[in-house]
Structure 1
Amino acid sequence: PYYGPLAGIEDDQFRKILENNVIANHWLIGFVAPQMIERKDGAIIIVSSIGGLRGSPVIGAYNISKVADFQLARNLAVEYGPYNVRVNCIAPGLIRTDFARALWEDPEMLKRRTATTPLRRIGEPDEIAGAAVFLASQAGSFVTGQSIVVDGGVTI
């Protein structure tokens, strides 16, 4: 990953972030969508981030890639909707995962993050899973092109 202002990012670093976070999603969806279109049923869920909703002087390139995921979901929702294939995003905040370990294992960082979160805690993986289950289930059958934010209220 690249940490710093966008003015300092090298093209190769920017490309790598976009390839990993946007283009890979596009190609993975391309592998499964034809079968969903054929059977006229499916739910595609892209895991994005609340970074796609915010600016950052440190992880701006990452955030750009995550907002691109939102648009990927919206665009594919329009394309695949006539075939009853839904496409949505989940935008997690800080979740207790290996990816975010450096943030939640540091007691001072954790204290700062939870103090600015209305629910005063970080999220757990099963809370992201719950959103995914909803989007994949019959309960979410009229939801497409949306980004569900699961962040304990950080972005309100």
Structure 2
Amino acid sequence: MPVKYKAPGKGFLQVPGILMIVFSSILILILLLGATVLGSVGTMAGLADVDMAEAMEELMDGAQVMLDDPTVHRELLALGLGMIMIVLNLISGIVGTALCNKPGGPAVVCLLFGLILLAGGVLSLALSGFAWSGLLGLVLPILYTIGACLNLFARRPARDGAPVQ
């Protein structure tokens, strides 16, 4: 009976990958819920006999004043980067979980995702200012990258006299 091979970085890729999938899914649901709530504000305004044209004009005037502030640009950039990172976390979690027991070549994909997540996390931390929660957000990408490195440099054992891959 053949011995089932376990890649050395399997746990480092599988556990953070599953956690990334769970947390990213929750955050995506929260974002969708927030968008739904914002969409329902217009419906409620219509039910309250508010002049939508006038309300939108006031809203746009306020938005223009807000967009002229350079601090808002930085915050919007951080928000956009955060949304992109949520989607990347979800994708990398799925990829890491799928490729966690495959050493060598497939681990390059995981390493690439891990490095992108680390760079995005550091950039987000730099844009939003230092916070312990932001530093905590780097733990999963670090573990993920370690697992990818372990799998990248691992070799499968020889089977039935076949050469080592």
Q: Same fold (TM over 0.5)?
A: no
Q: When the two structures are superposed, what TM-score results if normalisation uses the length of structure 2?
A: 0.29
Q: Greater strand percent: which structure?
A: 1
Structure with the largest fraction of helix: 2
TM-score normalised according to structure 1 size: 0.30
